[in-house]
């Protein structure tokens, strides 16, 4: 996704009802989780609000603190 299409990125702690065991796909009509077989072991997930579509992609990262730092430097990380 192009950076100029991103409105904001929300970092959140995964939980039972908040994506921890969603390995791929959606459990809600407005979010889509990219495939990640190691998501249950991750401690941070990201949800992206885009200008061009209503469905928000969500994903996990191997180095979430580094990604948060990069997003914050670009003014994209929601607080």
What pTM was estimated for this model as a whole?
Answer: 0.86
Please state, in angstroms and as integers, the Cα–Cα distance from residue 70 to each residue in 7, 23, 53, following that order.
15, 25, 23
| Model pLDDT, residue 2 | 87
Smallest CA-to-CA distance from 37 within 62, 55, 57 is with 62
pLDDT, position 9: 97
Residue pLDDT, tens place only, 12-56: 998 776 666 677 778 778 889 888 898 888 999 999 999 999 999
Nearest residue to 71 via CA among 56, 39, 49, 54: 49
DSSP state of 43: S
Handedness of CA 67, 72, 12, 59 (dihedral sign): negative
């Amino acid at each position: 996704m192009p950076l100029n299409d991103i409105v904001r990125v929300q970092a959140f702690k995964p939980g039972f009802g908040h994506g921890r065991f969603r390995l791929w796909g959606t459990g809600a009509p407005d979010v889509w989780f990219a495939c990640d077989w190691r998501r249950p072991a991750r401690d941070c997930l990201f949800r992206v609000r885009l200008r061009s579509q209503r469905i928000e992609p969500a994903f996990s990262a191997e180095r979430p603190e580094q990604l948060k730092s990069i997003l914050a430097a670009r003014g994209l990380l929601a607080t």
